Each structure stands twice: as structure tokens, then as C-alpha cells.
Copies of this chain bind each other. A is one copy, B any other.
Amino acid sequence: MHTTTDLYTEVQQFYARHFHLLDAGRAAEWAETFTVDGWFWPRTLPEPVRGRAALTAGVRRTHERLAEAGEQHRHWHGMVDVRPRDDGDLDVRCYALIYVIPRGEAPRLHLSCVCTDRLTREDGGWKVAERCVTRDDLHPETVGAPR
């Protein structure tokens, strides 16, 4: 059993490589960082994107669009809260910022989100089994009565 310290840095390291792959448009390699039946649910979609083929296809489409537009995306995960589960998986809740950098122009903060992941250990590393992402402009926590 790993200590919390080990788990915490493993998650940070995992997210770094995971988003380096995504932002470089390395679609198939990025999809490999999900479990075989892993899913990603941006809550603006009616249902999750399931499985590596669908995940790869989605990134390829996005990347082609960005290449045509001359834009680079950068994903930052931060304020990472890691909670080990009894089954050995990890519940992670963190903030996510997406920056858009158009060629020859200043960078622009595009979206602020909250990401909740369930990570599972596989082959000595971590994989995303389940991911939900909510957008702060659409799903703010400040709505409703203050607690």
C-alpha cells in the first residue's frame, strides 16, 4: 500500500504526461491513459465519450480543427484533491483551466472547469476510468442558497 504522499505525486505526474499528450494532439497515446472501457463526460454532452476508439477520434477532430485555426491549447490541472477509495482506486477532484494560444497572438483563458476523476491502477501506473467535467460558466457552485 502506497502512502498518501506517493499517491499525491503520482497523480500530479500522471496529469502532466496525460495533458502533454492531449495538447500535442497525440490522440491514440492519450486514449491509452484511460482504461479500455474508460469514459470522459464533459457535462455539455448528453452522455459520456466511451472507450479508446471514441476518445482518440474526438481528440483527432479537435486537433485538426486547432491546426487549421492555428491555435494551441494548454490544459492545466491544479488544486488537486486526492482521496483513496477502499477498493484501491482514487477519487480526484481538481480545477482545470484551458488556455487558447492563437498563432502570433497573446494567450487567452478559455474555460475554467471542475474535473472529477476515478483513477485505477493498471500496469504499475494510473489510468482514468471515469471523468466528469463541469464548466464554471454553466455550472457554478455559487447558485442556490449559501451554506
A positions within 8 Å CB-CB of B = 3-6, 8-10, 12-13, 15-17, 19-20, 23-28, 60, 63-64, 66-67, 70-82, 93-95, 97, 99, 101-112, 136-138, 140-147
The reply to whether A94 and B16 contact each other, CB–CB distance below 8 Å, is: yes
For residue A96, which residue of chain B has the nearest CB?
B74
Q: What's the Cα separation between A60 and B142 when bound, in Å? A: 11
* A contact patch SS: mixed
Identical chains in the assembly: 3
Most chain B CB within 10 A, of A23, A108, A137, is at A137
Q: What's the Cα separation between A63 and B4 when bound, in Å? A: 32
With A106-B137, A137-B107 in contact, do A147 and B16 touch (Cβ < 8 Å)?
no
- Of B82, B112, B143, the residue contacting A99 (CB under 8 A) is B112
The reply to whether B144 and A67 contact each other, CB–CB distance below 8 Å, is: yes
Q: What's the Cα separation between A95 and B16 when bound, in Å? A: 9
Q: What's the Cα separation between A82 and B66 when bound, in Å? A: 27
